[in-house]
Amino acid sequence: MPGGLSRRAWLAAASGTAATGLVMTRWDALKATPQEASPAAADPTKTPGRFVSEVGTRAPGEQPRRLVRTLALSSSSRTPLQDLNGTITPSDLHFERHHAGVPDIAARDHELLVHGMVERPRVFRMADLKRFPQTSRICFIECSGNGGGAYNRNRMPTAITPQQLDGLLSTSEWAGVMLSTVLREVGVRPGATWILAEGSDAAVMSRSIPLDKAMGDAMLAYVQNGEAIRPEQGYPVRLLLPGWEGNAQVKWLRRIEVTDRPTMTRDETSRYTDPLKDGTARQFSFVMDAKSIITFPSYPYVLPERGWWEIEGLAWSGRGRITRVEVSTDGGRSWTDAAMQPPILSKSTVRFRHLWNWNGREAVILSRATDETGYVQPTVHQLWEARGDRTSYHQNHQRAWKVSADGTVTFGLGDLL
Amino acid sequence: MRWIRRRVGAAPIVAVTGAAFSACTPEPPAQSAAGPGPDVAELPAHAPEHFGFGMPASEDRVARWDIDVKPDGEGLPPGSGSVAEGRFLYETYCLQCHGPTGTEGPNDRLAGTGEWEQWPAGRTVGGYWPYATTLFDYTRKAMPQTTPGTLTDDQVYAVVGYVLSLSGIVPADAVMDSASLAAVEMPARGRFVPDDRTGGPRVR
């Protein structure tokens, strides 16, 4: 530990973010120096421990936090990707994106109306929805605006964490009823091609969804990681569209109208459309293409010494399973297959690892994911070429980190341009 | 997929074309790997055709909840409002977030045309929104931000007319109602194209 600084202090100094909660990590704990030992560590075998409790809490030294940028009705908070492990996001750390705040809804009062081009328009209470056969799946939800902070060639960040850049990504085990089961109950009429999903928030958030997705793997989810879905994620029931952009997965769902055309709501016209360099804008760009990001080492971590370090991160695709993750430690000149840690699930995040013997010299590390369609996570140059350099949404290009000789880590994409 | 074979009234799935959307009935986007597959749960073989859960939705219930407006004007309510009335409403309810001329913010810029070259910053009503009906739908549901859903239909027509006039899309003496609003041709209407990303090796 250079200069006698404690590991925590060093990280804090390096990041300038001592109070953000970013500095205490799993890795930090492993490397904790004796002067950081808490009184509780004296000798726990000589003092009886605490009693049982009704609700557990995290260890005092493990306090990951969402990142709240601005307090506003239409705002977001981001998942601390660099502080988490495995693939499941603890429910209280699932990212948020609300367009008019989080509504307080009592499940017993909540009703879902399903109507439009159906034989039998019906109203379902939560108790009704829960009587249908239940199913579950693990999948990610990602805001399609995630990662846009690393797309502008004139403003490429350096001091940015995985949370700040890509924290609008979370993974949960969801359970509920297949939307197809509910649509079968009401009887979809011939000629129907879309549905409109409408939320019960103060923005009445609404999106049009093609009927084949609705009859495919779409779910009405009321369970998140073993308990009722959180208010921030759409309590008491949300639309779950595995692999599709988060905005379309309408929370606090109160109405589904089966239609023969899209409604052209605000959030599928003026927002969540992707301007292209030819003067057009891509609309209904639902699917999240394959993407990955290294979460360690990343800013604001510091590598205190050369030697063996395990690079790790997350990879995911909205089109199916991730089949390959490659890591480069030389700025993209050569690539090596990373190990993918089970489970490897369709439309879910997979954790990858690559054992790296850092020689102590400056290195730029990257990852790139390939999915089962053969799609390879592109470079930012490829996206600029395909869409122009001022598009927005779906910016899934490769991310890079620069490990400097002093062990500090910064976002490194700008160094490759 | 057992139940998929049995499903009632399933719509035919139409492949997307490369052309821009036709007026009001764009086809669903292509869906590589998004349709039914191994991830889709099956109902048990002995599941009934109908469970009978829930309760029938009355016409009145549907009418009260079915508040969205379609791009051809379907769903627009009776009533009307003038641009002049809309200006008063705008200055009362909207100005503090959107600025005196709809360009100053601090929230979304509303006014402006020919701003396509400034995207993504210039997602103004005049420069980017493809349908005027969307502005009515969104304003009626979600605005004003701190008291959403409180404007009357006449007031929504009026303020929508004023916002459109800020971009020069309707004249200052316009009166908006279901017919005149549905007839508005937005400058950005022809700009939108279907998603052509399909997975596979090509980057789009």
A375 close to B (CB below 8 A): yes
Q: For residue B199, which residues of chain A lie inside 8 Å, CB to CB?
A: 287, 289, 319-320, 371, 373-375
C-alpha–C-alpha distance, residues B98 and B87, integer Å = 13
C-alpha–C-alpha distance, residues A354 and A347, integer Å = 22
Could you tell me how far CA B191 lies from the centroid of its own chain? 15
Residue-level length of chain B:
204
Q: For residue B25, which residues of chain A lie inside 8 Å, CB to CB?
A: 260-261
Single out the residue of A288, A280, A34, A263 nearest to residue A169, CA to CA. Answer: A288
C-alpha–C-alpha distance, residues B54 and B41, integer Å = 22
Nearest chain B residue to A286 by CA distance is: B195
> Which of the residues in chain A have pLDDT under 70?
1-41
The predicted pLDDT at position A20 comes to: 41
Q: Which of A180, A375, A385 sits opposite B7 (nearest CB)?
A: A180
Coil, strand or helix: which one is A327?
A: strand
What is the pLDDT averaged over residues B1-23? 36
pTM of the model: 0.89
Adjacent-strand bridge partners of B116: none
C-alpha–C-alpha distance, residues B82 and A254, integer Å = 33
**A228 φ, ψ to 5°?**
-55, 140
Nearest chain A residue to B1 by CA distance is: A216
**B126 φ, ψ to 5°?**
-70, -35
Please name the residue ranges forming H helices in B80-192.
Answer: 83-89, 95-98, 125-128, 132-142, 153-166, 178-182
The predicted pLDDT at position A4 comes to: 37
Nearest chain B residue to A348 by CA distance is: B39
The predicted pLDDT at position A12 comes to: 41
Query: How are beta strands A307-316 and A350-358 bridged, if at all?
Result: antiparallel
Q: Please, which pLDDT band fits residue B113 given cuts at 50, 70 and 90?
A: confident
Cβ pair A188:B11 closer than 8 A? yes
Which residues lie below 8 Å from residue B53, measured CB to CB, with a gap of 6+? Answer: A124, A128, A129, A131, A132, A185
Cβ pair A261:B120 closer than 8 A? no
Distances (CA, A) of B5 to A190, B40, B43: 15, 13, 12
The predicted pLDDT at position B42 comes to: 80
Cβ pair A374:B32 closer than 8 A? no
The predicted pLDDT at position B204 comes to: 96
Query: Quick one: three-class SS letters along A260-313?
Result: CCCCCCHHHCCCCCEECCCCCEEECCCECCCEEEEEECCCCCECCCCEEEEEEE
pLDDT surpasses 90 at B12: no
Q: Which of B57, B119, B130 sits opposite A121 (nearest CB)?
A: B57
What is the pLDDT averaged over residues B1-14? 35
C-alpha–C-alpha distance, residues B27 and A60, integer Å = 54
What is the helix, strand, coil percentage profile of chain B, to 5?
35, 5, 60
Higher pLDDT, A157 or B28: A157
Cβ pair B56:A123 closer than 8 A? yes
Q: Which of B186, B197, B198 to mutate to test the interface with A (most CBs of A within 10 A)?
A: B197
Beta strands in A33-144 (DSSP E): 67-68, 75-78, 96-98, 111-116, 122-125, 135-142
A374 close to B (CB below 8 A): yes
Residues 80 to 99 of A: which have CB under 8 A from any B CB? 99
**Under 8 Å between Cβ of A299 and A15:** yes
Look up residue A270 and give its amino acid: S
Q: For residue A183, which residues of chain B lie inside 8 Å, CB to CB?
A: 7
C-alpha–C-alpha distance, residues B185 and A20, integer Å = 49
The predicted pLDDT at position A140 comes to: 98
Nearest chain A residue to B24 by CA distance is: A261
Cβ pair B120:A212 closer than 8 A? no
CA torsion, ordered A404, A410, A411, A413, to nearest 10 deg: -30
Distances (CA, A) of B127 to A97, A207, B131, B161, B189: 26, 22, 11, 16, 10
